[in-house]
Amino acid sequence: MLRLRVLLVSALVAGVASGCGPAGHDADGRVSVAASFYPLAWVVSQIAPGADLTDLTHPGMEPHDVELTFAQTVDLARADLVVYERGFQPAVDQGVDNDAEGTTLDVGPVAGLQDFVSDPGQVDPHFWQDPLKLSAVAGAVARALDRIDPARATSYDARAAALQRRLAALDRDYRTGLAHCARHTVVTSHDAFGYLSRYGISVAAITGLAPGAEPAPADLARLQQLIRDDGITTVFSETLASPAAADALAHDMDVRSEVLDPIEGLSDATAGQTYLTLMRRNLAALEEANGCTT
Ligand SMILES: [Zn+2]
């Protein structure tokens, strides 16, 4: 069945490729880009607003366990550029290995990934919580587009530079906003915020990597002790998974329950927001919870 699917995709791509104009571009001359989840798609949209862009993780979906539809596999196969993070979404890795005909850009080595603090040896994929790491990715996306579509290189480079200035400003706001805080530990429902360590934040996650996993009683007891010891005021849940575990812990400990968005994707609740507005919303929630003063 898998083999049949691969053959079908290959046949479809061959058919499309032979029928269109400039090699590698859409018939209308637009560059086609497949980005594997929201922060990567957002970067591409800022640098190449005219591109034919597909986000392989639909809004509201949890990107960790995304499955590609046949149509998405065709989009990935046909794309002039695939922007993805190897090791984060196995279905996308497989699509890149089996089907991609264009340029592929694995953003992990560009961003420079670190291990989970709670789980050394396990790579933490959530690098976009650090705006400077996303800025490095923006530079690599622009360079890839320059090579694929040199006629628009000046535009890609100028837009990437503007985006990198906005990300640098966001980084400054995080450094300033989190510089003077009463507390530095944050309790969250999934371990997606380790890259905030650069701003002095340390994360205690209720459930490790998998959103929706049931917390073990021993882990819950450890978190309850931490909340008491550190005077933690807030337990954070996230937007794409059920807040049940975080809400229950907050209720048991008589502290507040708030949302911290891992920004892995948009949902109905965050439609109309962007990476930048969600990062600033997270910053305000962190400042409030940790008693930060500027
Ligand atoms: Zn995650």
CATH number at residue 237: 3.40.50.1980
Residues 191 and 151 occupy one common structural domain? no
Give domain status of residue 197, yes or no: yes
CA of 238 to the centre of ligand 1 (A): 10
pLDDT for the residue numbered 13:
53
Residues 248 and 140 occupy one common structural domain? no
Residue 166, both tokens:
């906005």
Residues 273 and 129 occupy one common structural domain? no
Tens of each residue's pLDDT in the chain, 294 residues? 445 455 555 555 554 443 343 445 676 789 999 999 999 999 999 999 999 999 999 887 888 888 999 999 999 999 999 999 999 999 999 999 999 999 999 999 999 999 988 788 999 999 999 999 999 999 999 999 999 999 999 999 999 999 999 999 999 999 999 999 999 999 888 788 999 999 999 988 876 545 556 777 888 888 899 899 989 999 888 766 667 778 888 888 888 888 899 999 888 888 899 999 999 999 999 999 999 997
Give domain status of residue 294, yes or no: no
Tallying the residues shown for the chain, one arrives at 294
pLDDT for the residue numbered 16:
46
Residues 113 and 233 occupy one common structural domain? no
Domain boundary at 133, 157, 173, which?
A: 173
Q: 207 is in which domain, residue-wise?
A: 180-289
Give domain status of residue 60, yes or no: yes
The answer to whether the predicted template modeling score (pTM) of the entire model surpasses 0.85 is yes
* E strands in the chain: 32-35, 52-55, 81-84, 103-106, 114-116, 119-124, 185-188, 202-205, 234-237, 256-259
Residues 225 and 270 occupy one common structural domain? yes
Q: Which amino acid is at 218?
A: A
Residue 6, both tokens:
């691969």
CA of 113 to the centre of ligand 1 (A): 14
- In order, the DSSP letters of 97-123 are HHH--SEEEEHHHHH--EEETTEEEEE
Q: Which amino acid is at 27?
A: A
Give domain status of residue 22, yes or no: yes
CA of 247 to the centre of ligand 1 (A): 19
Residue 40, both tokens:
């990567």
CA of 124 to the centre of ligand 1 (A): 9
Angle among Cα 39, 99, 101 to the nearest 5 degrees reads: 85
Give domain status of residue 123, yes or no: yes
Give domain status of residue 184, yes or no: yes
Residue 148, both tokens:
């694929």
Domain boundary at 152, 173, 194, which?
A: 173
Residues 91 and 204 occupy one common structural domain? no
Residues 269 and 202 occupy one common structural domain? yes
Residues 142 and 115 occupy one common structural domain? yes
CA of 204 to the centre of ligand 1 (A): 14
CA of 86 to the centre of ligand 1 (A): 14
CA of 69 to the centre of ligand 1 (A): 21
Angle between helices 131-148 and 153-177 (to 10 degrees): 180
Domain count, the chain: 2
Residues 89 and 209 occupy one common structural domain? no
CA of 209 to the centre of ligand 1 (A): 7
pLDDT for the residue numbered 147:
98
CA of 283 to the centre of ligand 1 (A): 18
Residues 80 and 217 occupy one common structural domain? no
Domain boundary at 137, 154, 173, which?
A: 173
Residues 164 and 133 occupy one common structural domain? yes
Residue 30, both tokens:
């637009």
pLDDT for the residue numbered 208:
55
